[in-house]
Amino acid sequence: MRAVPDQPDTWNTLAPGLRASWRRSAEYLSDPAAALAPVDTSDDDLERLRASSPLQGVLPVLDQLLIRPASEAGLIVAIGDAQGRLLWVNGDRQALRRAEASAFRPGARWSERAIGTSAPGVALATGRGAQVHQGEHFAFSAHQFSCSAAPIRNPHTGAVLGVVDLTGGPEAVAVHSLPSSMPRSPPQRQS
């Protein structure tokens, strides 16, 4: 399956939540074949964003409970701000090198407005966990990956502080990766 906006048959294979994300994505991006997540944050700005992020304090917990096990499983963990800008990306070194070619790296914007349907973008747009399997991504540049993401909320106010994402192969969208995610269709076989 490929994200082709002018082919309704492709859209009909998507779960309703992903179909809604594709509709929003088609408003933001005219060509999914040419879309690449923008990396428009200078190193200095990235350091300032990291230092001022309310997520800075939970990094040691995320490292121990999520990043280390994900790395051992060949996966990547990304932590982004409430606008979808990735602040930290860590995990399996080989997967990180592959992801960088798709602009999945610190400083890149992975909101729906910036790159279309992706788990971080959907999670931020809906305020719920999301899983996106390879060809369900709107932009072709993300089709090699599957991802699960959830918004991170302030426990006192409920405000979205950012997003945490698990990216890699099909195991990144396994049931245990995000058991309470939006209902989704089974992964389509690549031909």
Q: What does the block give as tokens for 7?
A: 């082919």
**Interatomic CA distance for residues 112 and 37, integer angstroms:** 10
What are 102-136's pLDDT values in tens digits? 999 999 999 999 999 999 999 999 999 999 988 88
The pLDDT of residue 177 is above 60: no
Phi then psi for residue 187, to 5 deg, are -60, 140
pTM of the model: 0.85
CATH code for the domain defined by 8-177 = 3.30.450.40
pLDDT in tens, 7-38: 666 777 788 898 899 999 989 998 888 999 99
Of 103, 79, 90, 40, nearest in space to 160 by CA: 79
- Sequence spans of domains, the chain: 8-177
The Cα 137–Cα 36 span in angstroms is 12
Task: Give the 3-state secondary structure of residue 165.
Answer: strand
At residue 38, the pLDDT reads 94
Task: Report the share of the chain in percent with pLDDT over 70.
Answer: 85
As a whole number of angstroms, the distance between CA 140 and CA 29 comes to 12
